[in-house]
Structure 1
Amino acid sequence: METIANFLGLTVSELTQLIILVIVLIAGLILLRVLFKLTAALFRLGCFLILLIVTAVLIISWLN
């Protein structure tokens, strides 16, 4: 690790901090990706439920 740090012109502690930062950023990116997938699924479900409710109200109003 010391050889890599010297090659990059960094100290070992700076290289360690950089590696930790990269790991945290990658983990955050993965978490955001999962959350956006969940949000998209919930949005589609919400739109479907709204259409279902509107359709049910229209059918009930036509039957009365």
Structure 2
Amino acid sequence: PKLLDPNFEKRMKDQLDRLRRRYGVHVPGRARAEAAEKAAARGISAPKAVVQRISEFAARYSS
């Protein structure tokens, strides 16, 4: 999208924000994208048992 115009991304975001505020338009995937951004910034939480299983699996198959 940035190839189209230097301001394309911001204009698209502004337009989608207007549509959400004025008309309640839902853009599919927004929540998932926001969750991914937050997870990338803060990491994720996982139960110790899950982390342990992943660690065991990685140790078993990494060599």
Is the shorter-chain TM-score for this pair beyond 0.5, marking a shared fold? no
Relative CO higher for 1 or 2, CA cutoff 8 Å, sep ≥ 6? 1
Q: Which has the higher helix share?
A: 1
TM-score, normalised by the number of residues in structure 2? 0.29
Which structure has the larger Rg?
1
TM-score, normalised by the number of residues in structure 1? 0.29
